[in-house]
Amino acid sequence: MKIMMVLTSHDRLGDSGKKTGFWLEEFAAPYYVFKDAGAQIVLASPKGGQPPLDPKSDAPDAQTAATVRFNGDADAIAALAQTRKLADVIDEDVGAVFYPGGHGPMWDLSEDEHSIRLIENTFAAGKPVAAVCHGPAALRHAKGALGESLVKDKRVTGFSNSEEAAVGLTDVVPFSLEDVLKANGGQYTRGADWQSHVVTDGYLVTGQNPASSEAAAHAVLALLK
């Protein structure tokens, strides 16, 4: 069982002068769910190498069991520092793809042609495509077999407008993820802010926020079984 995790390479939070990247919990929790299940994990990003970490996700108040485990795992830290360039792995035979969030994907993975191709090919092959929090931004331009948006008529979730407002970034992000999923025909659903909410529709798995990361990974494993 081989699973590809695709991380952002984007580190600037719009014109705010602040840093962003991937959210540690949204990588670490699924990483260990997959690893503990015996999966071979391929790590990729648009630029390859070390993906930028959103510094807020490594703050003391953001720590979880998975982030603590990661920060003490030299092998995992080394693997993350050597992500493969997405363009070089899009044709690799994997059983599923998983997109952690953080705000970075709103800028790069939402537009990356290699990522779009990876998502479309994986889904067309009947394999799980999963994304959590802002990770579903990568679905923005992906198309299904009929040339329509991949999320059209599918139940989906992602970081909500109310959560974006709560972190004060509504006017910083390039678009509203909730609004884009709805505009593309997705049947957007949401749970309470900051509580785990995961939706599976066929081979598409989406999670609303960082608290949804572990459950989203387990949903992928359920599809692979």
Q: How long a stretch of residues is the chain?
A: 225
Please give the tally of structural domains in the chain: 1
Asked whether the predicted pLDDT for residue 185 surpasses 90, the reply is yes
Cβ burial of 84 (10 Å; 0-12, 13-18, 19+) is middle
CATH of the domain at 155: 3.40.50.880
CA angle 121, 100, 32 (to 5 degrees): 105
Task: For 187-197, write each residue's pLDDT tens digit.
Answer: 999 999 999 99
Whether 145 shows a pLDDT value over 90: the answer reads no
Nearest to 35 by CA among 83, 86, 70, 85: 70
Dist CA 13 CA 27 (whole Å): 19
Q: What is the pLDDT of residue 108?
A: 98
- Tens digit of pLDDT for each residue in 85-129? 999 999 999 999 999 999 999 999 999 999 999 999 999 999 999
Give this prediction's pTM: 0.98
Torsion angle of C-alpha atoms 78, 49, 70, 219, degrees rounded to 10: -130
Domain enclosing residue 17, as ranges: 2-224
Query: Model confidence over 148-157: pLDDT tens digits?
Result: 999 999 999 9
pLDDT of residue 199: 98
Contacts of 189 (CB under 8 A, 6+ apart): 155, 156, 157, 197, 199
